[in-house]
Structure 1
Amino acid sequence: MINKVIDHMMIENRQHFMIPGDVVASVSEENSLRHAFLVLTKVRYAKIPVLDRDDRLKGLVSLPMITNTMLGLDDLNIAPLDQLCVRDVMETEVVTIRDPYDVENVLHLLVDNPFLPVVSDDGTFTGIVTRREVMKGINYIGHNLDKAYTVTPKVEVEQLK
């Protein structure tokens, strides 16, 4: 279980962890792979959310998922970029969280995921929580713990070295 003081400071900062969905690069499940390829290339993210027409999260798509469709045995074929849509290659087994989310759970999930999509109860995409933003929160705690709390070590600092 996470330390109560640290949990409290993380929860105080929780609203800063989520990047709102309207500023997160995403594609529609109906977009062509060419469109997704261009978006991913321009934003330079490893993966981006895939949404349906009602802004519900349907999956994630990455450059390797797209480029795998272009690779033949001896050549590179770009025709699949116009023949297939994002729905045909996207990852659908996606770990998501709901807002408000449990900070300790998010910390565990971010060990294996660079970001976590945040969805509402009906599956509407509302944003992402990134490892980067959570690390900023941990940095905040490291610099402000003693400003908000009296920290008394149980062991002398010299013994910790």
Structure 2
Amino acid sequence: MNIAYFLLPKNRVAYLYDDCTFRQGLEKMRHHGYTAIPVITRDGQYVGTVSEGDFLWQLLNEVPAERQVCSMKDLEQLRVRDILQDHHYPPVRITVSMEELLNSAMQQNFIPVVDDLGNFTGIVTRKDIIHYFAQQKSAEKPLALRKIV
């Protein structure tokens, strides 16, 4: 099965540019209600995925021991690229197999898809992958075991 069928294209996916400020990143995630969001460069290259946890850990690391509060203004000079973790959400190419997608989906909410040049083309969601395998499983059942309505 070609994963292009499951691809949610870039123009329908919320993403951040790597030069967005810390505050802009948080605001976009909050607006969309996401726990993780892809990050790309201005020329479309996939850089990584930033999560709520990345923002939280950065906040905890930024607050000096003598201060208990850190304002958003203090974080205006910090960019999303500064808080990216290398190990989050490795991308796949459009030619990846469904089984490989399933393995990735066990570790992450969505799988970023890139072209041969590393340009971000969209995502495949965990929900779509599970739905595909559930349909495959139900199609394997003998006719006598299927529920007839």
Q: Is the 8 A contact 1:49 1:59 kept in 2?
A: yes
Alpha-carbon spacing, 1:50–1:80, altered in 2? closer, same or farther (3 Å): farther
Alpha-carbon spacing, 1:69–1:138, altered in 2? closer, same or farther (3 Å): same
User: How many Å apart are 1:152 and its aligned residue?
Assistant: 7.9
Q: Is the counterpart of residue 85 in structure 1 residue 79 in structure 2?
A: yes
Following superposition, which runs of at least 4 residues in structure 1 exceed 4 angstroms of deviation? none
Counterparts of residues 31-70 of structure 1 (less than 5 Å): 31-70=20-59
Alpha-carbon spacing, 1:28–1:85, altered in 2? closer, same or farther (3 Å): same
Q: Is the 8 A contact 2:7 2:124 kept in 1?
A: yes
Computed over aligned residues only, the root mean square deviation of the Cα atoms, in angstroms, reads 2.4
Alpha-carbon spacing, 1:30–1:68, altered in 2? closer, same or farther (3 Å): same
User: How many Å apart are 1:28 and its aligned residue?
Assistant: 0.5
User: How many Å apart are 1:77 and its aligned residue?
Assistant: 0.4
| Pair member with larger Rg | 1
**TM-score by structure 2 length?**
0.81
Cα distance in 2 for partners of 1:95, 1:103 equals 16
Residue 95 of structure 1 aligns with an amino acid whose one-letter code is P
Q: Deviations over 1:20-69 (max 9, x none)?
A: 11111111100101000000111111111110011110111122222333
Cα distance in 1 for partners of 2:92, 2:59 equals 33
Q: Deviations over 1:68-125 (max 9, x none)?
A: 3333345230234312011110123341110122111111121112211100010000
User: How many Å apart are 1:15 and its aligned residue?
Assistant: 3.5
| Unmatched 5+ stretches in structure 2 | none
Alpha-carbon spacing, 1:76–1:70, altered in 2? closer, same or farther (3 Å): farther
Q: Is the 8 A contact 2:48 2:90 kept in 1?
A: no
Residue 87 of structure 1 aligns with an amino acid whose one-letter code is R
Cα distance in 2 for partners of 1:26, 1:61 equals 10
Q: Is the counterpart of residue 126 in structure 1 residue 115 in structure 2?
A: no
Cα distance in 2 for partners of 1:69, 1:99 equals 33
Q: Is the counterpart of residue 104 in structure 1 residue 93 in structure 2?
A: no
Q: Is the 8 A contact 1:70 1:76 kept in 2?
A: no
Cα distance in 2 for partners of 1:142, 1:102 equals 17
1:23 aligned to 9, 12, 17, which one? 12
Larger deviation, residues 111-120 vs 32-41: 111-120
Secondary structure of 1:83's counterpart equals coil
